[in-house]
């Protein structure tokens, strides 16, 4: 890494620190705290995930040349992109988060991917017929994980640590149970196994649930769990602010942190099949957490009879495929955030933002979530046509529609 690259990275770090100390950032933290209290005095919070289109906005801003320096440069630019350019409710942190723990390789079978050369990829099936292939399912393996902002801890500390300290932080516990399976066997084969080999499918799920819980217990016993509160990212573009979890301390329990689960791969099965093949294992794992954020792209209303039984569910994903009005009604007597994922089509498809169509789309959400704690997380837009102004206007329209209804 050249001295010129180090200077560039340190300038970006100084900028991040200044933004983190700004009055606007401090106010955003207060707004998120009010949102997390769910006391009725908070405003809807809005975030835009840029990971799916960041290449068209971040890559042109890169100045470093070496691979190592460019990785750090991407991280630092990404840390402030929303705050500086989108004007949403994303927070800038005055430190680099250092996460440590384990990750799990389900059944000891590393996934195999075939890249398409573009945005897509294909998971190569390793299981086709459970009766013939069950012998391939071994005990899951656990592997140590330690990184700072997604990069090497020592490198980040050496270059940036005197400006942005590397701080050990917690992380919401992520379990995508059905995804573990679909990465090893096709969705079609998974559905067929549920129908034709139910006993073996249950046995496979039981093994997987046991391994997830064993890992949770290992991390607990090694004292690696830290608070998941405050400016800690929760999955799905959300934040972990809450008044119901510790914000300080070490060696916490699973019963003191946020957990996240989804089952979008279940979208093709019936509520009865969800109840039989999915819910028991999700329920068993989810009960370990104090607070649960549930759902990704699936239409959660389809399985509401079971999903509503997650008593610790604090946030529920309301994807573009959900019956918004149904979920709004179902949450009226629950302490659960209506976490809306607007359709990415408005932001990502047309070069020019269709403001009238977007307003109608957001207005429906605002009406459906009346009386609830509302949050917007825009995800899955794969281009904004290199137009940051389009994103700014997108966020403004959401705010205007919320304010029009005095939410």
Q: How many domains does the chain have?
A: 1
pLDDT per residue as tens digits for the range 342-382: 999 999 999 999 999 999 999 999 999 999 999 999 999 99
Within a domain: residue 146?
yes
Q: How far apart are CA 51 and CA 379, in angstroms?
A: 9
pLDDT per residue as tens digits for the range 151-171: 999 999 999 999 999 999 999
- Give bridge partners of residue 146 from the DSSP assignment: 100
Radius of gyration of the chain (CA): 22
The proportion of the chain whose per-residue pLDDT surpasses 70, expressed as a percent, equals: 99
Question: Once rounded to an integer, what is the mean pLDDT over residues 189-200?
Answer: 97
Which residue range(s) make up the domain with 310? Answer: 98-341
**Greatest Cα pair distance in the chain:** 63
Within a domain: residue 117?
yes
pLDDT score, position 38 = 92
Within a domain: residue 205?
yes
CA distances from 227 to 195, 244, 255 (A): 41, 11, 11
Within a domain: residue 88?
no
Residues in the chain: 407
For the CA atoms of 357, 360, 365, 371, the dihedral, rounded to the nearest 10 degrees, stands at 150
Within a domain: residue 291?
yes
Containing 376, the helix (H) or strand (E) segment is strand 374-378
Within a domain: residue 34?
no
pLDDT score, position 407 = 47
Q: Which two tokens stand for residue 380?
A: 């899955």
Cα-based angle 287, 289, 291 (whole degrees, multiple of 5)? 110
Within a domain: residue 380?
no
pLDDT band at 40 (very low <50, low <70, confident <90, very high): confident
Q: Which two tokens stand for residue 185?
A: 């066997």
């Amino acid at each position: 890494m050249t001295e010129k690259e180090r200077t560039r990275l340190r300038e970006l770090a100084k900028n991040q620190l200044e933004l983190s100390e700004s009055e606007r950032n401090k106010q955003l933290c207060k707004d998120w705290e009010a949102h997390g209290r769910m006391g009725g005095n908070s405003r809807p919070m809005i975030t835009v995930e840029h990971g799916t289109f960041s290449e068209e906005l971040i890559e042109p801003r890169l100045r470093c040349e070496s691979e190592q320096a460019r990785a750090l440069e991407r991280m630092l630019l990404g840390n402030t992109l929303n705050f500086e350019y989108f004007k949403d409710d994303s927070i800038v942190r005055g430190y680099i988060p250092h996460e440590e723990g384990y990750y799990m390789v389900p059944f000891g079978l590393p996934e195999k991917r075939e890249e398409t050369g573009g945005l897509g990829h294909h998971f190569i099936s390793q299981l086709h017929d459970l009766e013939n292939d069950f012998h391939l399912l071994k005990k899951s393996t656990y592997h140590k994980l330690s990184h700072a902002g997604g990069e090497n801890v020592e490198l980040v500390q050496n270059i940036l640590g005197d400006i942005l300290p590397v701080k050990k932080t917690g992380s919401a516990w992520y379990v995508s149970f059905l995804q573990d399976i679909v990465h090893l066997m096709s969705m079609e084969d998974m559905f067929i196994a549920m129908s034709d080999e139910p006993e073996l499918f249950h046995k496979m799920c039981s093994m997987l649930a046991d391994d997830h819980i064993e890992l949770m217990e290992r991390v607990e016993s090694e004292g690696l769990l830290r608070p998941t509160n405050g400016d800690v990212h929760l999955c799905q573009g959300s934040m972990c602010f809450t008044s119901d979890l510790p914000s300080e301390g070490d060696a916490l329990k699973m019963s003191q942190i946020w957990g996240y689960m989804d089952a979008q791969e279940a979208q093709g099965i019936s509520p009865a099949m969800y109840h039989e093949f999915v819910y028991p294992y999700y329920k068993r794992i989810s009960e370990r957490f104090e607070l649960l954020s549930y759902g990704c792209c699936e239409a959660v209303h389809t399985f509401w009879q079971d999903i509503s039984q997650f008593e610790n569910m604090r946030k529920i994903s309301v994807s573009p495929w959900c019956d918004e009005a149904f979920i709004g009604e179902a949450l009226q007597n629950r302490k659960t955030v209506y976490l809306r994922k607007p359709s990415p089509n408005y932001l990502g498809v047309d070069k020019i933002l269709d403001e009238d169509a977007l307003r109608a789309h957001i207005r429906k959400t605002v009406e459906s979530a009346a009386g609830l704690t509302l949050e917007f997380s825009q995800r899955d837009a794969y281009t904004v046509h290199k137009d940051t102004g389009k994103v700014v206007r997108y966020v403004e329209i959401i705010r205007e529609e919320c304010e029009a209804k005095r939410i």
